[in-house]
Chain A
Amino acid sequence: MDDDGAAGAEAAAQYFLQLRPYIMQTNDTAEWEAMSHQACAPCAQGLEQASRIAQRDDTWEGGATQTRLLHAYEQDSATGLWPMDIEVNEAAATVTDSAGNTVYEQDPRVSTARVEVGRRDGRWVVVNVAQPPEQ
């Protein structure tokens, strides 16, 4: 992620995608927040959910996320954003409450995300995690 070009953008995007289950498990969100642009709605959702889990004293398990770069596009000259399509492989996840009841279950699934990464103050920020637009 030290690289400030395409390679760094791709590394930042994959790192951020893989970070999600960690913040759900620990509510340790410092890195997540540092890499989230305020315009990124899925980033805000992740932060809010990690906080909600902690507030309710629930426990998140699983959801390990593997990623694979499918296609890296040219940097957008107007905004400086690096768009890329990434395959997101989420393992099964469960949430249990403090009494040990399972309150949420998530099946494993594979999806494709269009991730848009930008530079702000010389650091990588994730601006968007979207459905890939139809061609």
Chain B
Amino acid sequence: MNALAIASTLILGVALAPPETDYSGWADNYTKEVFAGATGKASSDEASGGGQSSAASKDKYFRADAKTCAIGDLDMLVDIVTQAGTCAEGYAETVVPAPCEDGTYQLDALWVQRVQDDGSYAPAEQVSEDQCVTPGDIRAEAERAFRSMRVSAPPVTLQGGEPLLVNVRYPAYTTAAAQEQDVTLLGVPVTIRAEPVEFAWDFDDPHSPGGGTLVTSDPGRPWRDGDPTPDESWVGHTYTRLGEPGSDAGSAVDDAGNTYRSGVTVSLATTWEGSFRIAGSTDWTPIAGTITTTSAGEPATVTEARTQLVCDDLAGSATC
């Protein structure tokens, strides 16, 4: 191609066939936000009888926010939105400058159309003004949500190869990860958070002096190659006595004459404290009260080490 032809090509803007990457399929276009909360299963037959939907006989509530205004022409909303007159013409989504301070949540005015005795709807009435919801406004609801929060009990580990031996300090540990749950309280999106603050261990040891329990704020940690031998300061337990076979239930003697206990189960009661944060805020507000969870480890056997050479380290590796 001579220089003139090249120049003409560029001036005319003729592309040298670049691939068109601006096409896409369904999966590339899903939006990130939904309009409605989704609960439960659909009621299959109620809705199709008589042409009336199951929601038609309830009072119609409407909050004058951008999301609702965007769908304000739907049959369920059109009358009330029109009467309230709080959405822009054509129900276009409008960006409204937020009058609320940081840390508070703008809750738009609530309107309702009440269903009358004859089944028709009354004119829309305003229930509340625009509000800036503060954490204090929803503290009581947040406490209730925390108290009924389903917190997963953390795992219980007593580190050591079976059978466990007397007079060995076995590390005990769990995880201390916080758990969060998103809820809506009085129309406000809120995150509830539970953090573990205390661990109460029960090592199922009624025979060793000093008892078989330990309360600590330390979740413990596993022993790893290179760590010093665990001492009293390491979260864990030493079994020193195994009871009297014949008089103590659960205590027995094996063929070699060693006393042992089987089905020894370590359990853990974890105490959790709560806090909450309103959507869009960075501050966590503490919640009064605590939750407790209970978890247990796998049953194990503990035995005397009279004739057995201890050849395994705490990680179960043979050291002989």
Contact = CB atoms under 8 A, between A and B. Distances in A.
Q: Do A and B come together as binding partners?
A: yes
Interface of A: 3-8, 10, 17, 20, 37-39, 41-42, 45-46, 49, 52-53, 56, 58, 60, 63, 65, 71-84, 88, 90, 93, 95, 97, 99, 101-104, 106, 109, 111, 113-114, 116, 118-122, 125, 127-131, 133
Interface residues of B, number: 48
Interface stretch (B51-59, B127-135, B150-158, B234-242): B51-59
Interface string B169-208: 0000000000000000000000000000000000000000
A110 B226 CA distance: 48
Looking at chain B's contact residues, the main secondary structure is loop
A79 to B, nearest CB: 5
A80 to B, nearest CB: 3
Contacts of B24: 45, 49, 106
Contacts, number: 176
Top 9 A-B residue pairs of the complex, sorted by shortest distance between their CB atoms: A5-B47, A80-B76, A76-B36, A72-B42, A73-B38, A111-B27, A83-B38, A6-B42, A5-B48
B55 A73 contact: no
A20 B26 contact: yes
Q: Is the interface of A mostly helix, strand, loop or mixed?
A: mixed
B20 A114 contact: no
Interface stretch (B67-75, B259-267, B287-295, B302-310): B67-75
Given A41-B31, A120-B75, 20 more contacts: A3-B48, A4-B48, A5-B48, A6-B43, A37-B71, A42-B29, A60-B23, A63-B25, A73-B39, A74-B38, A74-B41, A79-B74, A84-B42, A88-B27, A90-B25, A116-B36, A128-B31, A129-B30, A130-B30, A133-B38
A81 B68 CA distance: 11
